Amino acid sequence: MAAASLFTAIYLAVIYRLTINLTELPYSNELRRPGSTEFFNANDQIVKSFQHLLRRIPGHHEASVLGYRYHQVVGTLATVDIYSDRP
């Protein structure tokens, strides 16, 4: 019975990992530090934007920013996980 419960929990938790290009966000070393004010401010804006986009999709969804990195061609990139209770 424990195996069925574990399977159900895994089945209901779907994670989508995205990498998004943030053309309007200049990259800085502060974005690399998870405890920095700049990191928290950028996270807050991104999470609120995803919540706004996902609110019309049925189910429960959560967004979480994992980190930022710089790419010399496209600029600032953010890695975001979207947690969903629906596949």
Can you give the pTM of this predicted structure?
Answer: 0.80
| CA–centroid distance for 78 within its chain | 8
Per-residue pLDDT tens over the stretch 9-34? 555 678 999 999 999 999 999 999 99
Q: What is residue 6's predicted lDDT score, i.e. its pLDDT?
A: 55
Q: What is the mean pLDDT of residues 29-48?
A: 95
- What does the mean pLDDT of the chain come to? 88
Burial class (CB in 10 A: 0-12, 13-18, 19+), 65: buried
Question: Could you tell me which CATH class the domain 13-84 is placed in?
Answer: alpha beta
